[in-house]
Amino acid sequence: MKTKKFVRIASVMLVLIFTMSAFVSANAATYFEENGFKYSPISQFNCRIYGYTDSKTDVVVPNKLSTYTVLEIADYAFLNNTAIENISFSNAKSIDVIGEFAFSGCTSLKSVNIPMTLDKIGYAAFMGCTSLTSVNISSNISEIKGQTFQNCTSLTEFTVPNSVGTISDFSFAGCTSLEKVVIPKTVKNISAKAFLNCDKLTIFGYTNSYAETYAEENGINFVSLDKKILLGDVNLDGKVDVNDVTLLQRYIAGETEVITSKDALTVANFNKDDNIDVLDVTDIQTFIASSEN
């Protein structure tokens, strides 16, 4: 009798286990769609966005979908969506995660503003966004993960948030237009390959910071934010000399790619007449000569 009773109890337990497993599987596979956003509940009150089916170019991530608060953008959610040009999280008051490859391959994406609530941007989240020119991160992320902005070939400037301590492997590798990255004192670790093939790059940081040491060890031009940029310092190396004259002469002769950063163009206009020409070259030469005497 005890054996039969045990068998009945075991059978009931198995049924319960299978029923619960089926419920969990069904719940995990349950997707809903609202205003083009494909989402799934992750709790009684919150949800995760898994995809986007609309063709709008400007996408505003909502704070809620149905009765659920949006907490996360899932891995691969917008992968290879070539329609989106701008993504805004201004209405998403609680979002804290952008998953791995979430916007990777969004080749039309031009700008993104990431809010304070965000704690994590996943691996390769914006990799291959070749039209991306503006990234504003005001969040509390502690790390720019590997390949986050790799091959974002239109990105020219980037400011690392003060919360960041680590810039990982290939984070900005292949960002061939990247000219200026501002790195705060909080950053204590940068991968040697973080800025691979960023040949136009100048790092802006603080004197005696890890950023300065990193720039020196990796042959990257460094500009100290502790010092004022000098008028005439065209190569932004902290002094005005014959190298600045040579660079400016090349620029005026038609090699416009040798001076592209806004700061360099500003100080190249030595006489402040809003034109960069031979008069600036002459005035810089005169300044150097007078300084040497």
Residue 264 maps to a domain: yes
Residue 6 maps to a domain: yes
pTM: 0.71
Range of the domain at 293: 228-293
- What pLDDT is recorded for position 236? 85
Residue 275 maps to a domain: yes
pLDDT reading at 42 higher than 80: yes
Residue 20 maps to a domain: yes
- What pLDDT is recorded for position 230? 85
- What pLDDT is recorded for position 293? 57
Residue 207 maps to a domain: no
Residue 167 maps to a domain: no
pLDDT reading at 6 higher than 70: no
pLDDT reading at 123 higher than 60: yes
Write the pLDDT tens digit of every residue in 186-195. Answer: 999 999 999 9
pLDDT reading at 125 higher than 50: yes
- Count of structural domains within the chain: 2
CATH number, residue 266: 1.10.1330.10
Residue 257 maps to a domain: yes
Asked if residue 76 lies in contact with residue 99, where contact means CB atoms within 8 angstroms, the answer is: yes
Write the pLDDT tens digit of every residue in 66-96. Answer: 999 999 999 999 999 999 999 999 899 999 9
Residue 270 maps to a domain: yes
Mean pLDDT of the chain: 88
